[in-house]
Structure 1
Amino acid sequence: MGTDPGLRRLVLGTLLAAYPGRVPPDWAVDLVREGLAGHTLFGKNVHDPAQLAASTAALRAARPDVLVAIDEEGGDVTRLARATGSPYPGNAALGAVDDPALTERVYAAIGAELAALGITVGLAPVVDVNTADENPVIGTRSFGADPARVAVHSAAAVAGLQSTGVAACAKHFPGHGAATADSHHELPIVDVPPAVLRERDLPPFAAAIGAGVRSIMTAHIRVPALTGDDPATFSPAVLVDLLRHEYGFSGAVITDALEMKGAALAAGGVGPAAVRALAAGADLLCIGSEVDAALVERVAAEIVDALGDGRLGRARVEEAAGRTAALAARPRAAGTPTPAPTDLGYAAARRAVRVEGDVTGLGRPLVIQLHATSTIAEERVPWGLGPHLAGLEEVRVVAAETDAASLLGLAGTRPIVLVGRHLHRLPGGPHLVDALAATHPVTVVEMGWPGPWRPTGARAYVNTYGASHANGRAAAEVLGLAG
């Protein structure tokens, strides 16, 4: 990496790495001691609270101001509760309730839990306005499709999370909600003029900035009118002209994971992506989840090389490292955050449930859960009504591989409760539901983003606005099926 240890330390101060396993390996701790900004924690790093607190303590022992970040959004994206599902509803449910004070309380509860575990940056809230029903990666992570409502709840979430001393991170700038592709796998295009962004996508970011949000995450999306052929993560027009100058943000700009195809493919690898993001105005470079010491060194070496060949100026890297250090140096909340009532999330999820039709008198139905894949952001977390049912029979099937006749035979005289996520875009889902409901009493429970689709002939349609543990319990209670 060259002979200048000061330059290496400067560069490391712009990198957010990750490590495998439940115990930080020596290299991960050593890099923190040598100047690495910090690490992001993923589900694979989490076993239980005691283990996680020990891990963050080990990182802090290497350097007290290390950044420890985690994607803990509540709802469908949880790392702390990956074994069971989150005890809190996510943003779509909170937006449906539309009680900003509740949103603030829920985020304060999440923040208190993070603070107690030694985590300093909550990579939340998602403030994207989910205007595309087919959006495969935002959906229930969004407060909704109305910019004004999303803005109000974004500000409340930031206030709640940061009241605990944990830095919030509004994501994904300049707005991922209209995309119909997943930037983990490709580079989505949002082909609208800047005026549409200002009216539709940017009000929640303005609200988050007004609430004092300490960091904002970039989106690996292409907005041709602003970014040309590049993702926003590589665009000075987005990160400097729009975010810094027009919207007045002075905190740290964090990239979404540079290992994602939306960035890595566009740049020719994680190292070149890091250089381009820094040059465009990003401050803290999230490498991704699959990280080892060699990758950190390669990325750092690429940045050092860019400083040498003129792709990057030293002042830009010093500015980025300074903003990252300021994010780490912010004072903690006064006193110890108060733990939330254990039923806060469940009560909130119950308020979000919306029922169309009649859900009375179900008795002891057959519960059918349709398999749904998880996004990389969500990881694989249990969902559904199963854990909350009082001894009822539940079967799990793949919609496109199942015929209605076999399920009707299994149900016999019992009514059917069919549970799914994003049923409107699940292969075979709408067809199977309609076939069942044509001759049988069927209640549909939608635990994903609802969209305009409704089943034909169903007795009832129940929308939970999310698939967390809290959402599942709420649905079971509404249907009278909870144990």
Structure 2
Amino acid sequence: MTIDPGLRRLALRTLLGAFGGRTADGVAIGAGVANRAAHTAPEWAVNLVTDGLAGYCLFGYNIDSPDQVARLTSQLRAARPDLLIATDEEGGDVTRLSHATGSPYPGNAALGAIGDLGLTRRVYQAIGHDLVRVGINVNLAPTVDVNVAIDNPIIGTRSFGDDPVKVAGHAAAAVVGLQSAGVAACAKHFPGHGATIDDSHHGLPTVDITEELLRSRELPPFAAVVAADAKSIMTAHIRVPALTGDDPATFSRRMLLDVLRDEFGFTGVIMTDALEMAGAAAAAGGIAPAAVRALQAGSDLLCIGSDVDGALIELIAAEIVSAITDGRLDLARVEDAAARNADLAAWTNGTVGKAVEEDLGYAAAARAIRIEGSVKGFDSPLVVQLSAGHSVAEGPVPWGLKPHTNGTAYVHIASDETSAGALVAEAAGRPIVIVGRHTHRSTASRELVEELAATHPTAVVEMGWPASWRPEGAKAFVTTYGASHANGHAAASALGLTH
């Protein structure tokens, strides 16, 4: 079917795509390759930029080194300079630039634990400069959700904390820091993903709370980032029945227009979370219908997701054009969205990254460490890192203490594949340091650590979201508030294990 070229271009101006491409050795690859490198843009991706596409989101599979990313962004901007190029560089556990090693910054939970708003601003300014130097002008950060669910599977250490006043202060500081570097902040996930125990990548979480509680707990950080002039805010694919009915917030005119636009006075870009996520696509009957519904509700920039190719982008554009043509979608609404996206690109145009404080993130991570008990005598231990999964947002980023230790005996093991007796035997008289993430969530991990702590000198390093669980008998309990490279170095230093 032939579609109107002018309407197609208009539809493309609302889309934030993604792409496979070519590996570093020139091998062409396509969509569905989130586990493989795609370090240059394929021809179709460049052509879509020429045709008006708003921009692209870069994922870990697009990133190899700073120089490579700079070449990639230059390749794209050669087709059209006013292009939005985004990524998820939150610092901490969610990093794209440092996905191969772990982030050199400690992440939001650690910054919240420190409680220094000036430090939060400086860390985010440094992240902004890192992004600008490689040609990325939109950061899908900060996460400003108030993490009130201890076992939240998707937010956790990405949050500044569980207190809305504290989160609001750090959220505003992060926005100011990022944008002082010339990178547009995208605060997420409106109206707040912190009370969920489900992941919107896999379904539609419901936050069944009153409007009054939402306003007093979830919304203050978003009011704060609007006041700090955040250039964009990302919607959440979560359902809040009191305000959104049966729909996710991404499809809710009441949330996006009545609350965010009219009440909060937000004039920037409303961006969707990835429409390929089940919380949106399943709720709308597909990614293309989800795009139309998001525009109808008031979104401006539609993040498609990571599993994207040219055919999918064309399918979505065609559905938007069809919706305009048959009257389901108002032409003026799409024109307004495209204009806001263009204004965002113009705001970021031409900024050059500056030097940042050396080792800022490592010094910050060291300030976040909390030690209960004493780590005396744990400088020559057997370190046991318990296997732990990762969220879709985090991806398989390395974590732990091993990169920071100097010849320390170190094993990786699943908690249900060993025993306390076997570890004590392997320790051969040395104390044991257990390193885990969200250790309390696993029955096998809890029981293993509790048995060890009761019978053998044991210290625990918790690198996930902290909980109240403490194994009786443990000599020390070390909380890092994150599992980034910087957090790992801080914990190893506290134990006396660093080089």
TM bin, normalised by shorter chain, reads over 0.9
Q: CA deviation at 1:320?
A: 0.8
Q: In structure 2, what is the Cα distance between the partners aligned to 1:2 and 1:150?
A: 49
Aligned to 2:287: 270
Q: In structure 2, what is the Cα distance between the partners aligned to 1:3 and 1:363?
A: 68
Q: In structure 1, what is the Cα distance between the partners aligned to 2:19 and 2:167?
A: 34
Q: CA deviation at 1:333?
A: 7.3
Q: Which structure 2 segments of 5+ residues have no match?
A: 21-37
Alpha-carbon displacement from aligned partner over 1:58-92 (angstroms, at most 9, x marks no partner):
11111110100000000000000011100001000
Q: CA deviation at 1:331?
A: 4.7
Aligned to 1:178: 195
Residue identity matched to 2:123: V
Aligned to 2:486: 470
Q: Aligned to 1:395, what secondary structure does the other structure show?
A: strand
| 2:382 paired residue among 353, 366, 371 | 366
Q: Following superposition of structure 1 onto structure 2, how do residues 4-83 of structure 1 map, counting pairs within 5 Å? A: 4-20=4-20, 21-83=38-100
Q: In structure 2, what is the Cα distance between the partners aligned to 1:333 and 1:307?
A: 34
Q: In structure 1, what is the Cα distance between the partners aligned to 2:493 and 2:357?
A: 19
Aligned to 1:146: 163
Q: In structure 1, what is the Cα distance between the partners aligned to 2:443 and 2:329?
A: 47
Aligned to 1:439: 455
Q: In structure 2, what is the Cα distance between the partners aligned to 1:458 and 1:265?
A: 46
- TM-score normalised by structure 2 residue count: 0.95
Aligned to 1:112: 129
Residue identity matched to 1:65: D
Q: CA deviation at 1:399?
A: 1.3
Q: In structure 2, what is the Cα distance between the partners aligned to 1:124 and 1:408?
A: 43
> Quick check: 1:163–1:333 contact (8 Å CA) kept in 2?
no
Q: CA deviation at 1:342?
A: 2.4
Aligned to 2:339: 322
Residue identity matched to 1:18: A
Residue identity matched to 1:425: R
> Quick check: 2:137–2:348 contact (8 Å CA) kept in 1?
no
> Quick check: 2:90–2:141 contact (8 Å CA) kept in 1?
yes
Aligned to 1:126: 143
CA RMSD of aligned residues (A): 1.0
Residue identity matched to 1:378: E
Q: Following superposition of structure 1 onto structure 2, how do residues 87-98 of structure 1 map, counting pairs within 5 Å? A: 87-98=104-115
Alpha-carbon displacement from aligned partner over 1:30-64 (angstroms, at most 9, x marks no partner):
00110000000000000011110010001111111
Of 241-250 and 279-288, the range deviating more from structure 2 = 241-250
> Quick check: 1:166–1:332 contact (8 Å CA) kept in 2?
no
Alpha-carbon displacement from aligned partner over 1:173-224 (angstroms, at most 9, x marks no partner):
0000001111111111100111111100111111111110000000010101
Tell me whether 1:456 sits opposite 2:472 in the alignment: yes
Q: Aligned to 1:438, what secondary structure does the other structure show?
A: helix
Tell me whether 1:406 sits opposite 2:422 in the alignment: yes
> Quick check: 1:164–1:332 contact (8 Å CA) kept in 2?
no
Q: In structure 1, what is the Cα distance between the partners aligned to 2:158 and 2:205?
A: 18
Q: In structure 2, what is the Cα distance between the partners aligned to 1:305 and 1:5?
A: 12
> Quick check: 1:385–1:475 contact (8 Å CA) kept in 2?
yes
> Quick check: 1:95–1:150 contact (8 Å CA) kept in 2?
yes
Q: Aligned to 1:449, what secondary structure does the other structure show?
A: coil
Q: CA deviation at 1:427?
A: 4.5
Aligned to 1:217: 234
| 1:313 paired residue among 330, 336, 347 | 330
Q: In structure 2, what is the Cα distance between the partners aligned to 1:42 and 1:427?
A: 33
Q: Aligned to 2:239, what secondary structure does the other structure show?
A: coil
> Quick check: 1:104–1:156 contact (8 Å CA) kept in 2?
yes
Q: In structure 1, what is the Cα distance between the partners aligned to 2:309 and 2:236?
A: 24
Residue identity matched to 1:70: T
Residue identity matched to 1:19: F
Alpha-carbon displacement from aligned partner over 1:107-146 (angstroms, at most 9, x marks no partner):
0000001011111101100000000001000000000001
Detail structure 1 runs of 4+ shifted over 3 Å in the superposition: 331-334
Q: Tell me the number of residue pairs that the alignment of Structure 1 and Structure 2 aligns.
A: 482
Q: In structure 2, what is the Cα distance between the partners aligned to 1:3 and 1:345?
A: 50
Identity of aligned residues (%): 63
Q: In structure 1, what is the Cα distance between the partners aligned to 2:350 and 2:467?
A: 40
Aligned to 2:33: none
